Amino acid sequence: MANAQEVLDQLATAVVVLDGMLQVTYLNQAAEALFGKSAHRVLGQEVRTLYIDPAEQATVLRNTLDTGQPFTKREAVLLSNGERKQRAHYSVERLGTDALLIEIEPLDRFLRINRDDQHVALQETTRKLIRGLAHEIKNPLGGIRGAAQLLDRELGSDGQREYTRVIIDEADRLKNLVDRMLGSNEKPRFEQLNIHRVLERVVQLIDAEEPGRIAFARDYDLGLPELEGDFGKLVQACLNMMRNAQEA
C-alpha cells in the first residue's frame, strides 16, 4: 500500500477515496494542493468538508455507491478552502462494494495542456511551411548563380564583373541562409578577416539595391587588427543594421 501511495502522490491528477459513509479515507498530494487542506485534517470527515459540486454531490456519490454506475462531469464548479471556487473535470467510480474513487482534473491545467499541444502542432506546421518555402527559394537561386557566372565570362571589364561577382556571392550567402532555415547544423566558418572588407561588401549591396540614392563617406581606422569571424554572418548582421538605419 505504501508503494501505491507513493505512485498516487506523483500524479498531477487529484485523487480522493471515500468509504461507504462518504467519509474521506485518502487523498493524494495533488488533492491536498488543490483544496488547500492536508490529509490529516480531513481524513475521517465527510467529503462535504473537503469540497465538492454542491448541486449534485450527495445524489451523485450515493447513486454511484449504490449502483456501481460511474459518473463523469466536465467543467464542474467545486467549492473548497473557504468557498474558493475551482473549475474542474471530475469522475466518480466505485471501488469494491463500499468505497468511491474520485479523480479531479483542474480545468486550468487541462486547458494549459491543450494550449501546449496546440503550440507544438503550430510549431510543426510552421517548420513544414518554412521547409517548403526554403526549397522553392533554393531552386531559382541556383539558376541566378549560374546565369551570373555565364555573364561574368562574357563581360569585358573588371568594373562590370564586380557586379556579377556580387550576385554570385549573394546567391551563395542566401543559399547558406536557406540551409540554416532548413535546420542545417553547419558551424560558423571562422576565418581571419578585416572588418573593412565586411563593411565594403555591405556598401556594395546597399548601393546595388538603390544606386546613387545614398552617399557613403568612409572613415576607416587602418590600424584595426584583423578579427576571427564568419564573413557571411557578419555581412548579414551589418546589412540588417544598415537597413534598420535606413528605415529609422
Domains by residue range for the chain, with CATH: 13-106 (3.30.450.20), 187-248 (3.30.565.10)
Query: In what order do the strands lie in the sheet containing 99-106?
Result: 24-27, 14-19, 99-106, 84-95, 71-80
Residue with cell 459540486: 53
DSSP label of 19: E
Contact 232, 205 (CB under 8 A): no
Query: How many residues does this entry show for the chain?
Result: 248
Question: What is the distance between the alpha carbons of residues 17 and 13, in angstroms, rounded to a whole number?
Answer: 13
Name which of 209, 123, 196 is nearest 170 in CA terms. Answer: 209
Q: Helices 158-181 and 195-209, interaxial angle, to 10°?
A: 100
pTM: 0.42
Print pLDDT tens along the chain (248 aa): 556 677 777 787 888 899 988 888 988 888 888 777 888 888 888 877 776 555 566 788 888 888 999 988 887 777 665 556 677 788 889 988 889 998 888 777 555 655 666 777 777 787 777 777 777 777 788 788 888 888 888 887 877 888 888 888 888 888 877 777 666 556 778 899 999 999 998 888 888 777 778 888 888 888 889 999 988 889 888 888 888 887 76
Specify burial of residue 225 (Cβ count, 10 A radius: 0-12, 13-18, 19+): exposed
DSSP label of 22: S
Residue 82 φ/ψ region, left for φ over 0, alpha for ψ in the -120 to 50 degree band, beta for the rest: left
